[in-house]
Structure 1
């Protein structure tokens, strides 16, 4: 197995929204804001190369939205899904599976693109199976008022119409081994219903793709919960259980949204679980 980080682009989000009730004087130490109160955010995806399968976890925002839409997110840098795949020697058509942790636009937007005539949409990965889970799919296609702006129909319905949509089978437990994809999946519900957190065994290490359970290294302390989470008190419980396990077992946490820290480990301290070490993907994957 080979693992490759794929940067689908960088953007900015409001620091207050990213840290909820935590005062700026605290979160600004780890995630410094600009003059508009925006902090740097990445859309770091993960490519798993194993045998004849090439599995992409998440896909970033994509590029089909309007200029007005993207102006809200202050895009920066030169990275994109295509350039990142090319740098690793791959093309979208090589991808056999796209695993979507959840259907918020910054995680799944890259799965769908305009057709050549720009008269409708098509899947950007023509040879790939697209993986979600049935409970989350129902949640996203019948969105609540709070999440409606994150679940965009143009990102979701073309996947269903393509015939390439597949659901991960679930046994009802919060953690299980995916028989379809070969890695462990933790189901969490604080950020959104049935978000999926992949656990990948690689060279004797457990690599956990954190998605929005732990957006950045600055979110390690338990109260540092995003304002975007639909059930923040549940996130607290889910984070505590997860971080306790991560510290005890020495897991390597792949940070999808931290623009400046790629992988971290955590440790038990008298103040609770805290950051231990920071690594690059190259250091851990090679």
Structure 2
């Protein structure tokens, strides 16, 4: 049983949107902006090798959108999902399961690709099941005006049409139920309805895949909530619960969107829960 970080590609987002009401003079200390007010963002997936299953958590935004679309997100660096999988000895056809924390385009876009002659779409992981949950699927396929631009039809309906779409039971938590990883799912609703955060034990450490609850190290402080969140006060409540639990139990936070920090731990201080130590994946797991 092994896990691997998979870098699917870096991009940039508006720093103000990423930090909501927090002033730039504060958030740029941890997430410096360029001359266009853009900050570095990663799309870091996680690959879990568990027996005969090879599970990919999130896929990045893929490459099927137009040049105009990608022009909004300023992709940078050399990472691709294929080169990252190859680095660890895998191919996308080896993937048996794609676990989607939620269905915003930067998390799910890589799940679907153009077919060979670009007349339609097909699964980018032809042997994989795609996993979401029914409440989030309904939320994504009947989108509210605030999130409509993040839930793209071409990312979603081809999963259903292909027959590869599967739903996780959010009450029974039945994904990888019998795995020695002790795979658990934390459901959170502040960013979007029924976002799923995987949590599991690996080499004696509890790892939580943070997705968009805490996207970067700079978002650890309780009021640092993204402008993209649909229910920011709920995000703060969910963060407060998680931050205290993580500091109490020394969870290792695995960051999907922090381009410069892969994992960290937290600690209690007289100012609340704060960053403890930052780690690279290779420092923790050899």
Instruction: Tell me which moved more, 162-171 or 185-194.
Output: 162-171
Task: Name the structure 2 match of 1:162.
Answer: 162
Is there any run of 5+ residues in structure 1 with no aligned partner, and where?
none
> How do 1:1-286 residues align onto structure 2 when only pairs under 5 Å count?
1-171=1-171, 176=173, 178-179=175-176, 182=179, 183-286=183-286
Distance in 2, Cα, partners of 1:203 & 1:159: 34
Native 8 Å contact 1:31 1:218 kept in 2: yes
Change (3 A) 1:154 1:133: same
Native 8 Å contact 2:168 2:174 kept in 1: no
Return the offset for 1:178.
3.2
Distance in 2, Cα, partners of 1:200 & 1:120: 37
Distance in 2, Cα, partners of 1:63 & 1:180: 33
Return the offset for 1:252.
0.2
Is there any run of 5+ residues in structure 2 with no aligned partner, and where?
none
Please identify runs of 4+ aligned residues in structure 1 that moved more than 4 A. none
Distance in 1, Cα, partners of 2:157 & 2:177: 23
Aligned residues: 283
TM-score (norm 1): 0.97
Distance in 2, Cα, partners of 1:171 & 1:11: 35
Partner secondary structure for residue 9 of structure 1 = coil
Partner secondary structure for residue 266 of structure 1 = strand
**1:14-39 CA-partner distances (Å, limit 9, x unpaired):** 00000000000000000000000000
